[in-house]
Structure 1
Amino acid sequence: MGAWSARHRKTAVFGWLLFVVLAAFLGGLHGSTKVTDSEMMPGEVARAAKILDEAGIKTPAGETVLVQSAALTADDPAFRAVVDEAAAAVRATGKAADLRSPYDTGAVSADRHSALLQFTVAGEDREKAVENVPAVLDAVAGVQAKHKDLTVEEFGEASSGKWFQEQFSNDFQRAEWTAVPLALGILLIAFGALVAAVLPVVLALTAFIAAGGLVALSSGLLHTSDDASSVMLLVGLAVGVDYCLFYLRREREERAAGRDAATALQVAAATSGRAVLVSGVTVVVAMAGLFLTGIADFQAMSFATILVVITAVLGSLTVLPALLSMLGDRVDKGRLPLLHKLRRSDAATGGRVWNALLTPVLNRPLAATVLAGGLLLGLAAPLLTMHTANLTFQQQLPKGNALVATSQRIEKAFPGSPAPATVVVKARAVDSPEMKQALADLRTRALATGKMHEPIQVTVHGAQNVALVDIPLVGTGNDTASTEALEALRGDVVANTVLKVPGTEAPVTGSTAGSHDFNEQMSRSMLPVFGFVVAFAFLLMLCSFRSLGIALTAVVLNLLSVGAAYGVLALVFQHGVGASLFGTAGVGAVESWVPLFLFVILFGLSMDYHVFVVSRIKEAHDRGLATRAAVSYGIRSTAGVVTSAAVIMVGVFAVFGTLSMQSMKQMGAGLAVAVLIDATVIRAVLLPAVMSLLGERNWYLPRWLNWLPNLSHGESFPPVTPAAPAPAGLHLPDGQSAGGARV
């Protein structure tokens, strides 16, 4: 691929540009089809959404206005006047429907100091309701401005949806505008030249644009989501820049060593190009594991990531060689003399920091293995206490948010009311006397449990034979009390009332039900996903390096890295230790989808470094170096690239750790910490130490596995780089040097 691209430079470059433009244009023309509610969630929640979809019933966005006073009660005329004024203001907007006074519904708190005005926001779907809600919010704010001695605040699905929509858009834009200059700055330091630094960023961005178009084009077959776009940017920018970095650095090293331009490209294609291909396939295989979750949003994220990785690999292996062939040594244009000189001086030896780390590790590999392994196991220890849950609205948003404060006041005065459970009853004849009695019994039995309370609202859609019963649950929505109330509702109340009527379905939905069903699905998916990813990564490493030791080492080291990341995640975001460093506080739980998602992403991305470093070690070993000498050479010669790639990934992921929503913070911070651990403790200490301990056993392949395909490059390029000095105290076999050349 590299040779073809170098020979057909214009075809490769203009073909790539045409591909990017066509994919983006056709994708924009086609538009994106988003996942539906019935696809988004598993279990009873999915069945409830499907019943509503089939019946054509659009669940309106519910809103509430809290009127609260420390001095007045709901029975005082002044309090009632404010409630009436708020109702009139909301009605006057023309954007509200089904307005219900607390004096009609009984939505008055037990202490009589709070009342809830309930209504729905006009709009055939949630997106339209979000567009309509600003007028209502302004009207309520106007009433609050007139009555500062009372609390008059609005909260509901439309107002919270508006916040999430605006914040998601703002955060996404901020991530783009922060991550790209950050990557460019790091590459400028890594290469010491402007042109060389710009190339990886441009190729990564064009790969992201093309992949976005392809995702939109295919969304008719596999629906996409907003989360998929975020993850595609996150992973696409990280791997796209890294792949180009690996390739470009190797080509520059070969040119600096004295090879002609054509041979340097040939060496880069056969070595780093192969490493990029293996890394890309590993990420694709790892991300494919998310399809086993059975959750549409995860499948959308998986598919989008797979497309952006394939596109990034394709660009790195085709258009990059063509551009390098066109530019030649002009790729070093725009040099920053000091940085360029520093980069060249560190290229052969790996720099002072890496030398200081590597020398004692190779001299005392057993001690290094025990110390580094102990450190990682210590970091992983909090994993044993990890509690996962679908974070509530209050947990997701930053502290001090006005909507959070309002929802907490409503929850305190009316436990469970902001997010009631909804029983979706589909019957043969919903207006039959038998069903009417069953619905009445449902209300009575629910209240008798003591775990559900008023106001219970029944909405009957006679034409569709569907009834919706909203039942507030005790608790906060995702605590033990709420879960027990949900189980009582499903297992006792519903089963012994409406389900006694023949031909009736009655799935229970709502935020508590959604969280419970999602967590159950995550628990069931964990083992199949982990098994799939680990097994296929092991097989891929086995085929790529034809070594049982390398494949086992890769899997074990990656599992240690993921375990340490999980421990840090639990320590910071669940228990709050060091949470202020991430601009947050401990919320008592880790978002339920984050651990599984982190595992898949990290297992794929960790292979980037592993494949790149071990490929260089194997290359040296194949030339005749003993394993310890090959390890020394491989680690030192890739140190600069691994450092630059890791800093870029950590920087990009850390940007997502600064976003507003707790789940995005956890994802970004978890990825950043894991990559940092992987590029330092794993690659600089554990990998060389373990490989040194194993010695020639690293390359062992049982005879019965000789049938495995040989995916290593078949060309041998004699080294021209002068031998790097052996580190102090490292004794190499006779006739060998740490630089990889025969003495």
Structure 2
Amino acid sequence: MKQGIAATMGAWSARHRKTAVFGWLLFVVLASYLGGMHGAHKVTDAESMPGQVARAAKILDDAGVKSPAGETVLVQHPSLTADDPAFHAAVDQVAAAVRATGRTAGELGPYETGAVSADRHSALLRFTVDGADREAAVANVPAVMDAVARAQRQHPGFVVEEYGEASSGKWFGDQFKNDFARAEWTAVPLALGILLIAFGAVVAAVLPVVLAITAFVAAGGLVALCSGLLHTSDDASSVMLLVGLAVGVDYCLFYLRREREERAAGHDPATALRIAAATSGRAVLVSGVTVVVAMAGMFLTGIADFRAMSFATIVVVVTAVLGSLTVLPALLSMLGDRVAKGRVPFLHRLRPGAGDGSRFWNAVLTPVLRRPLAAAVLATGLLLAVAAPLLTMHTANLTFQQQLPRGNALVATAQRVEAAFPGSPAPATVVVKARDITSPEMTRALADLQSRALATGRMHGPTEVTVHAEQNVATVDIPLYGSGNDAVSAAALEALREEVVPATVGAVPGTEAPVTGSTAGSVDFNRQMSDAMLPVFGFVVAFAFLLMLLSFRSLSVAVTAVVLNLLSVGAAYGVLALVFQHGVGAALIGTAGVGAVESWVPLFLFVILFGLSMDYHVFVVSRIKEARDAGLPTRAAVAHGIRSTAGVVTSAAVIMVGVFAVFGTLSMQSMKQMGVGLAVAVLIDATVIRAVLLPAVMTLLDEKNWYLPRWLHRLPRVGAEPAPAGLPAAPRPEPAPAGAHR
């Protein structure tokens, strides 16, 4: 009988061990080297945001107009006012110190622009940081920040602090690098430590980690090579590490544990490897395809950052699957029983033959199988209760202040600036593209735009107009009232877009005037995410259902997989809303409730979790179906499948939860939300779902688990594997618990 893909790849790898191992190493080195030589092309501003914000960025890019990185220096005194000579002298000295760096341009003092607070105790010095792009400005800003810090030391009675796009960009850039390095150096040893406990042997523990790391390195090179066609991002690299390490270790763990089980059951090395390839190898293949399909749903968002994250994740998952199905069988064939070498005293021994599972999982499973209906009702009720807070979930593009940890110096400065000058740190910008930007009609329209904006009472001065005559482009900065991310700012933006702009510059024939800025970016991004939610959800659910249907040829299994995954995702959403929006338990993870969940996190979590949850579902259900195909009745097969996979699912889940939890300790709020959401969902999935709800539901369905309507019998047998030679006979039926339903 013709072998399936996974079995064929495993058999080839075992026969050509050196070719497989050295071929993998060559692939990793070449991919990494060529990717490094090519370099990574990052997502541009015009690509990264939707709506009017994207259009504004495109106009400026096409015109060759670079938006300078705006900075401000707050000069504040508790008793002196801006009219006092000493205050005036301090402002002048700060301005001179900033100019002396040679890294700034367009200095605008508070006395020229009127940027003095209503109580006269605060003044803002505005300027831009030199640089052809945002990265160059960030590189130049340290010299300016040092000059401002010296000015603060020279004026101890004043508050002299800097805040702006370049200084905040520098903080984010530095913090991202530090966090990413910390995640790498924490997640890898953590995974290794968990595997040491699970296997009790150094060689067996190191193999999955090494393969996961090499898969991540190779995928990073491939993503860089392809970035000329599909731009990548820093977020994509972070997600690639997160998912790559988790699935890479899990896939190897599934494969390795099955091979060890078969050796412990008495099979020779070749037969054990062949059985592992045909069973766990197939589960890895189906799981990997499911993750890839789920991640492909992110392309439907129409947002470049999501496309970058999706592509990077797909590449690392495909690479991890390839490594698990090729180089891992070769290494296991080479090592044989030496894979259990390096046993660590006092740690859990590698006992893969313990098919009855641990005492703990036996204690959990026995009452579930005895009272499946009660277990299903209780587990479902618990999950729905945990998911309930999602009904109150509010999503938003978190502001700079919300993203940063409490006590951050930049946040404190931003709050002081906002208190003295509401809306000033992040004004809306009207980008005007006209046939003749210097015509009298357009000049009047630009003036009218400013006056009408102020007349609404939702915006305030000072406004600023910059005309680029050669490009027929102008930008108009108009501060909005509100925090920049609240209903007040959103209403002001709507008034500017829907009323003020159409009645002024928009009324001039041949003129285009999109509105951009941080508030506009948040509004446009949220709208795009809302519009994309239904198509993405529908795509992922439909294709996951189809893959399960084709893989197991059972309508019941496919429906159960989708419903259980939706329950775990809903529970994760509930925890996100409860912790990060309402602040319940937030202090336990070093943060506080910020009143909202980052707008991209729910959709991202849905896609990731729907893919990753299939790891356990495919692995467990494959083992159940294998036992049933070998002759056990469904109820006994469910008990055998859950017990025989309990140890490996526990180990895999602990690794995933540990890796994801590391991201929950990072500085930025969005990374915390992503890490905690993933960790909670995987924990729920591996415990309540797989250990309670799945066996309860499958026990209740009994033989209906394998129901396939007659009209679907023509479906292709995707991924179907024949029983390999040496596959053990049907496991001995386990005694039904007393009182079990018949």
Alpha-carbon deviation of 1:610? 0.1
- Alpha-carbon distance in 2 for matches of 1:710, 1:464: 60
2:463 maps to 1:449: no
Alpha-carbon deviation of 1:346? 7.8
Note the alpha carbon deviations across 1:94-119, whole angstroms, 9 max, x for none: 01110111000010011111100000
- Pairwise CA RMSD: 1.2
* Residue pair 1:455, 1:472 contacting (<8 A) in 2 also: yes
* Residue pair 2:630, 2:730 contacting (<8 A) in 1 also: no
Q: 1:359 to 1:384 in 2, by over 3 A?
A: same
**Secondary structure of 1:464's aligned partner:** coil
2:72 maps to 1:67: no
- Alpha-carbon distance in 2 for matches of 1:431, 1:579: 54
What is the aligned counterpart of 2:281 among 259, 273, 282? 273
* Residue pair 2:71, 2:164 contacting (<8 A) in 1 also: yes
Q: Write the letter of the residue equivalent to 2:31.
A: A
- Alpha-carbon distance in 1 for matches of 2:356, 2:88: 79
- Alpha-carbon distance in 1 for matches of 2:332, 2:73: 63
* Residue pair 2:632, 2:733 contacting (<8 A) in 1 also: no
Matches within 5 A, 1:97-108: 97-108=105-116
* Residue pair 1:349, 1:725 contacting (<8 A) in 2 also: no
- Alpha-carbon distance in 2 for matches of 1:722, 1:494: 74
Alpha-carbon deviation of 1:347? 2.3
* Residue pair 2:664, 2:671 contacting (<8 A) in 1 also: yes
Alpha-carbon deviation of 1:731? 6.2
What is the aligned counterpart of 2:49 among 41, 46, 63? 41
2:322 maps to 1:314: yes
* Residue pair 2:248, 2:317 contacting (<8 A) in 1 also: yes
Find the counterpart in structure 2 of residue 349 from structure 1: 356
Find the counterpart in structure 2 of residue 510 from structure 1: 517
- Alpha-carbon distance in 2 for matches of 1:395, 1:197: 40
- Alpha-carbon distance in 1 for matches of 2:325, 2:414: 52
2:551 maps to 1:544: yes
What is the aligned counterpart of 2:587 among 573, 580, 586? 580
**Secondary structure of 2:416's aligned partner:** helix
What is the aligned counterpart of 2:685 among 675, 678, 700? 678
2:281 maps to 1:256: no
The TM-score, its normalising length taken from structure 2, stands at 0.97
- Alpha-carbon distance in 2 for matches of 1:256, 1:152: 71
Find the counterpart in structure 1 of residue 154 from structure 2: 146
Q: Write the letter of the residue equivalent to 1:187.
A: L
Find the counterpart in structure 1 of residue 487 from structure 2: 480
Q: Write the letter of the residue equivalent to 2:205.
A: A
- Alpha-carbon distance in 2 for matches of 1:581, 1:463: 56
2:203 maps to 1:219: no
What is the aligned counterpart of 1:653 among 660, 665, 672? 660
* Residue pair 1:362, 1:730 contacting (<8 A) in 2 also: no
Alpha-carbon deviation of 1:82? 0.5
Structure 2: 5+ residue runs without aligned partners?
1-8
Find the counterpart in structure 1 of residue 126 from structure 2: 118
* Residue pair 1:287, 1:604 contacting (<8 A) in 2 also: yes
* Residue pair 1:629, 1:732 contacting (<8 A) in 2 also: no
Find the counterpart in structure 1 of residue 599 from structure 2: 592
Q: Write the letter of the residue equivalent to 1:532.
A: F
Find the counterpart in structure 1 of residue 4 from structure 2: none
What is the aligned counterpart of 1:296 among 299, 304, 318? 304
Q: Write the letter of the residue equivalent to 1:276.
A: V
* Residue pair 1:257, 1:721 contacting (<8 A) in 2 also: no
Find the counterpart in structure 2 of residue 693 from structure 1: 700
Find the counterpart in structure 1 of residue 532 from structure 2: 525
Find the counterpart in structure 1 of residue 347 from structure 2: 339
Alpha-carbon deviation of 1:337? 4.7
2:502 maps to 1:495: yes
Q: Write the letter of the residue equivalent to 2:204.
A: A
- Alpha-carbon distance in 1 for matches of 2:492, 2:329: 62
- Alpha-carbon distance in 2 for matches of 1:289, 1:526: 10
Q: Write the letter of the residue equivalent to 1:353.
A: F
- Alpha-carbon distance in 1 for matches of 2:606, 2:474: 41
Note the alpha carbon deviations across 1:262-311, whole angstroms, 9 max, x for none: 00000000000000000000000000000000000000000000000000
- Alpha-carbon distance in 2 for matches of 1:606, 1:141: 50
* Residue pair 2:258, 2:352 contacting (<8 A) in 1 also: no
Find the counterpart in structure 2 of residue 53 from structure 1: 61
Note the alpha carbon deviations across 1:348-402, whole angstroms, 9 max, x for none: 2210110110000000000000000000000000000000000000000000000
2:672 maps to 1:665: yes
Note the alpha carbon deviations across 1:212-267, whole angstroms, 9 max, x for none: 00000000000000000000000000000000000000000000000000000000
Alpha-carbon deviation of 1:69? 1.0
Note the alpha carbon deviations across 1:379-435, whole angstroms, 9 max, x for none: 000000000000000000000000000000000100000000000000000000000
Find the counterpart in structure 2 of residue 615 from structure 1: 622
- Alpha-carbon distance in 2 for matches of 1:333, 1:616: 27
**Secondary structure of 2:595's aligned partner:** coil
Note the alpha carbon deviations across 1:121-148, whole angstroms, 9 max, x for none: 0111110111111111111111111111
2:101 maps to 1:96: no
* Residue pair 1:359, 1:730 contacting (<8 A) in 2 also: no
Find the counterpart in structure 2 of residue 736 from structure 1: none
Alpha-carbon deviation of 1:338? 4.0
Structure 1: 5+ residue runs without aligned partners?
734-743
Find the counterpart in structure 1 of residue 3 from structure 2: none
What is the aligned counterpart of 1:439 among 438, 441, 446? 446
- Alpha-carbon distance in 1 for matches of 2:263, 2:570: 40
- Alpha-carbon distance in 2 for matches of 1:194, 1:311: 24
Q: Write the letter of the residue equivalent to 2:617.
A: H
* Residue pair 1:286, 1:604 contacting (<8 A) in 2 also: yes
Q: 1:345 to 1:729 in 2, by over 3 A?
A: farther
What is the aligned counterpart of 2:407 among 400, 413, 433? 400
- Alpha-carbon distance in 1 for matches of 2:199, 2:739: 30
* Residue pair 1:349, 1:724 contacting (<8 A) in 2 also: no
Q: Write the letter of the residue equivalent to 2:178.
A: N
- Alpha-carbon distance in 2 for matches of 1:513, 1:170: 30
- Alpha-carbon distance in 2 for matches of 1:726, 1:55: 77
Q: Write the letter of the residue equivalent to 1:562.
A: V
The TM-score, its normalising length taken from structure 1, stands at 0.97
2:722 maps to 1:719: no
* Residue pair 2:376, 2:696 contacting (<8 A) in 1 also: yes
- Alpha-carbon distance in 2 for matches of 1:147, 1:485: 37
* Residue pair 2:630, 2:729 contacting (<8 A) in 1 also: no
Alpha-carbon deviation of 1:339? 3.1
- Alpha-carbon distance in 1 for matches of 2:649, 2:736: 20
- Alpha-carbon distance in 2 for matches of 1:593, 1:728: 46
What is the aligned counterpart of 1:283 among 291, 294, 300? 291
**Secondary structure of 2:422's aligned partner:** coil
Alpha-carbon deviation of 1:692? 0.4
2:484 maps to 1:471: no
Q: Write the letter of the residue equivalent to 2:377.
A: V
- Alpha-carbon distance in 2 for matches of 1:141, 1:346: 65
**Secondary structure of 1:99's aligned partner:** strand
Note the alpha carbon deviations across 1:69-102, whole angstroms, 9 max, x for none: 1101100101001000000000001011101110
- Alpha-carbon distance in 2 for matches of 1:394, 1:340: 46
Alpha-carbon deviation of 1:729? 3.0
* Residue pair 2:275, 2:727 contacting (<8 A) in 1 also: no
- Alpha-carbon distance in 2 for matches of 1:296, 1:585: 30
Identity of paired residues, percent? 80
What is the aligned counterpart of 1:181 among 184, 189, 192? 189
* Residue pair 2:370, 2:741 contacting (<8 A) in 1 also: no
- Alpha-carbon distance in 2 for matches of 1:119, 1:394: 22
Find the counterpart in structure 2 of residue 425 from structure 1: 432
The more displaced of 724-733 and 107-116 is 724-733
* Residue pair 1:452, 1:474 contacting (<8 A) in 2 also: yes
- Alpha-carbon distance in 1 for matches of 2:686, 2:660: 14
